[in-house]
Amino acid sequence: MPALEAAPSVHQTVVSDRREPVSGIVILGCQAPALAHATRPGQFVMVVPPGGERTGAALGVYEAGGERVSLMIAAVGPRTRELAGLAPGARLDMLGPLGNGFDLDALAQRGPTGSAEVALLAGGVGLAPLLLAARGLLERGAGVRLYYGARTGSALVDAESFAALGVAVELSTDDGSRGYHGFVTDLFAASGRVPTALAACGPSPMLRAVARAAQRLGVRAQLSLEETFACGVGACWGCVVPLERASAQAPPFPPPAPGETRDYVHARICKEGPVFWADELRW
Amino acid sequence: MSDAATAARPDLSVALGALRLRLPTLMGSGCYGSGSEYAAFVELSEIGGVVLKSVTRLPRLGNPAPRLVTTPSGLLNAIGLQNPGIDAYLANDVPGFADRPCAVVGSVAGFSVDDYAEVTRRLAARGEIDAIELNISCPNVGSEGETFACDPGLAARATRAAREATRKPLIVKLSPNVTDIAPIARAVEAAGADALAVVNTVRGMAIDVDRQVPRLGNVSGGLSGPAIRPIAVLAVWEVARSVRVPIVGGGGIETARDALEFILAGASAVSIGTANFTDPRAPLNVAAGIRDYLAARGAATLREIVGAANPGYLGAR
């Protein structure tokens, strides 16, 4: 059997199924065999908006298996509302898979006790890229616990998909309407557990809190960053984050110019990321 | 394809000075990387050429994030000319531009006349580079970068310096952020430009009302996308009445009909940038649509409709 092309390409997909577990959050399944085969946990796609909006939408791949990928879409703006409204049978073109994805081998490394216990922290639809990560970590023999937070209970979706894999799930809401009352990073701190590694996806303030928590615990964390993308393919340099020059992910860049005091490089979130080691970011 | 169909296939080729393009679609500087970023999605042989991201004499880390804001029908950016500087660029990047199946136009930015001369000389000397675009109109590097495009005398000095540094085709990219673009276009033409790119982004900003701060790390940025198309079409119209050198028209082109507005105003070729972010197949659709338009009107070449809507068009056809 010829190997399927793993390089990114344009995929002309058809929406196969649509689920709206809670109002405003839609899980859109698409028939996309080559993409399903090629996608690694934590990678994303750029969706070509059917209505011709100005820029495509970057979405983390939620599920990928067989001939199907799915995307988790929070309908918050005109672009995402349009995508969330697509019905089965609709055509949807996407570029992908894009970005680096999680380094699951590194996350699944065993700690001093001989086992690997990975904590996944999700904020809102930052949950999306963590499902494939959870599966991959379990396959590598790691224990996985999901800390999943949202503004309110009705925005917590699909935790059962994680539980079905054998992932322990703990929930939090900002308003206390379900689970722990507070941020997901507070829930994690309150648990008192010290995992062997952390992986997280969500809004930037949450990821910064995860980075601080990881530093306190002396545990490394991989963060999947969210940012506005224009191209999504590394061409425009619009989505950068300051990254330690010594990072293995740092794009090549000459030493600081005369008079230049900033000793870091700007890495593209869409290309060198979206997943970075928390302790290598200079944000 | 039959001989008859081949014969009826309109010729879209254009000449910008000595730069021959098989297709009139150039990918806008800064929007297309070096081309390789899009090679997975598009056959580069189906675009006219790529204008590379601008390079400066010294490395530049670029502006702090956020660098992008989407606005109605537009995209604000303030990248700040992030690039490794000409030394590292020549050593590490330029060798990879060989074998591109489309034209490769190097883009030179600078902060002094000497910068433009030196970077142009060194970049144009490389066989991988088919032509030079002089970026005298970047709005995102303080007042320094765009000053050149906003003053006819300075624009001419930068152009003349680059002209003396290379015999390769020289395109100079003008700014829309001026009171009157015509005298600047004339000064740049007189200083030896082979073609003019019209226009760079329009200055703008956006404010985060919740946090009460500017949304771009650089405070202000350059607006692209369909929001600026009418501004850009008028700029091409006015420049086409002022100079005889060919014009590369651009600003918010997404479709063939958008591109035709620029061509009918007097552009010989078009620049496509932001539209690639929506769909990388946009330039292919533009070229195909232009071909259909010409065929439907019995036109054999694109050249014969350049400036057709503009009674004051001075250029050649």
Angle at B92 between CA B90 and CA B98, to 5 degrees: 75
First and final C-alpha spacing in chain B:
28
What is the predicted pLDDT for the residue at A2? 37
Pairing, β A44-47 against β B25-27: unpaired
Is the distance from CB of B252 to CB of B9 less than 8 angstroms? no
| In contact, A90 and A48? CB cutoff 8 Å | no
From residue A108, give the alpha-carbon distance in Å to each of A220, A251, B149.
11, 26, 55
ipTM: 0.93
Q: Tell me how close the Cα of A56 comes to any Cα of chain B, in angstroms.
A: 5
CB proximity list for B45: less than 8 A, separation 6 or greater: B101, B102
**Per-residue pLDDT reduced to its tens digit, A230-262:** 999 999 999 999 999 999 999 999 887 677 777
Question: Under an 8 Å CB criterion, which residues of B touch A?
Answer: 30-33, 37-38, 40-41, 53, 58-62, 65-70, 73-75, 77, 79, 82, 84-85, 87-88, 92, 225-226, 254, 274, 276-281
Say whether residue A179 is in contact with chain B using an 8 A CB cutoff: no
Q: Which residues contact B210 (CB under 8 A, 6 or more apart)?
A: none
Q: How far apart are CA A167 and CA B243, in angstroms?
A: 69
Residue A10 Cα, gap to closest chain B Cα (Å): 6
Q: Are A233 and B70 in contact (CB < 8 Å)?
A: no
| C-alpha to C-alpha distances, A97 to A7, A36, A55, B86, nearest whole angstrom | 8, 9, 17, 32
Please give the distance of CA B199 from its chain centroid, rounded to a whole number.
7
Which residues, given as ranges, of chain B have pLDDT below 50?
1-6
Side-chain-side CA neighbours of B56 within 13 Å: the count stands at: 21
CB distance A46 to A98 below 8 Å: yes
Residue of B31, B41, B281 with shortest CB distance to A236: B31
d(CA B255, CA B315): 24
Please compute Rg for chain A using Cα positions.
19
Angle formed by the axes of helices A184-191 and A204-217, nearest 10°: 20
Residues 6+ apart with CB under 8 A from A222: A102, A103, A106, A107, A197, A198, A199, A200, A275, A276, A277, A278
Q: What is the pLDDT of residue B142?
A: 60
Using CA atoms, how far apart are residues A266 and A247, in angstroms rounded to an integer? 11
The pair of structure tokens assigned to A90 is 């609709």
Cross-chain residue pair B75–A262, CB shorter than 8 Å: no
Mean pLDDT in residue range A218-222: 97
Provide the pLDDT confidence category of residue A54 given band limits of 50, 70 and 90: low
pLDDT in the model for residue B144:
59
**Peptide bond connecting A258 to the previous residue in cis, omega within 30 degrees of 0:** no
> Are B68 and A49 a contacting pair at CB < 8 A?
no
Question: What is the C-alpha separation between B300 and B187, in angstroms, rounded?
Answer: 34
Using CB atoms within 10 Å of the CB of residue A21, give its burial: 0 to 12 exposed, 13 to 18 middle, 19+ buried: middle
- Asked if the C-beta of A93 comes within 8 angstroms of chain B's C-beta atoms, the answer is yes
**For residue A238, what are the contacts with CB-CB under 8 A and spacing of at least 6?**
A228, A229, A230, A231, B67, B68, B77, B79
β-strands A275-277, A221-224 pairing? antiparallel
- Judge: A54–B53 Cβ closer than 8 Å, yes or no: no
**Which domains, and CATH codes, for chain A?**
9-98 (2.40.30.10), 104-215 (3.40.50.80), 227-283 (no CATH)
CA–CA dist A193, A187 (Å, integer)? 10
* Minimal-distance CA residue of chain A relative to B253: A54
Residue with tokens 């969500």: A202
Helix, strand, or coil (residue B108): strand
What pLDDT is attached to residue B146? Answer: 74
| Residues B243-273: b if buried by 16+ CB within 10 A, e if exposed | bebbbbbbbbbbbbebbbbbbbbbbbbbbbb
Cβ-defined contact of A230 to B61 (cutoff 8 Å): no
Searching chain B, which residue's CA lies closest to the CA of residue A232? B277
pLDDT exceeds cutoff 50 at A1: no
Residue A53 predicted with pLDDT over 70: no
Q: For A94-143, how does the pLDDT look when each residue is reduced to its tens digit (9 = 90+)?
A: 999 999 999 999 999 999 889 999 999 999 999 999 999 999 999 999 99
Asked if B171 contacts B133 with a C-beta cutoff of 8 angstroms, the reply is yes
User: In sequence order, what E strands does chain B have?
Assistant: 14-16, 19-21, 25-27, 49-51, 68-71, 74-77, 103-109, 131-135, 170-174, 195-198, 202-204, 207-208, 213-214, 221-224, 247-250, 269-272
Whether domain B3-305 has CATH 3.20.20.70: yes
Does A82 lie at the interface with B, CB-CB under 8 angstroms? no
- The answer to whether residues B259 and B226 touch, using CB atoms and an 8 Å cutoff, is no
Name B91's Cβ contacts closer than 8 Å, sequence gap at least 6: none
Q: How many helices and strands, by DSSP H and E, does chain A display? A: 7, 15
The model's pTM:
0.93
Locate B225 and state its tokens: 């996308």
Q: What pLDDT digit, counting tens, does each position of A162-211 carry?
A: 999 999 999 999 999 999 999 999 999 999 999 999 999 999 999 999 99
Smallest CA-to-CA distance from A162 within A207, A196, A195, A127 is with: A127
Q: Which residue of A has its CA nearest to B67?
A: A238
Does an H or E element contain B190, and which? helix B181-190
Q: How many CB atoms within 10 Å of residue A114?
A: 6
Best mutation site among B27, B43, B279 for testing chain A: the one with the most A CBs within 10 Å?
B279
Work out the minimum CA distance from A196 to partner chain B, whole angstroms: 31
Active site residue B138: yes
Between chains, do B62 and A237 touch, taking CB under 8 Å as contact? Answer: yes
CA atoms within 13 A on the CB side of A92: 32
Distance from CA of A3 to the nearest CA of B (A): 17
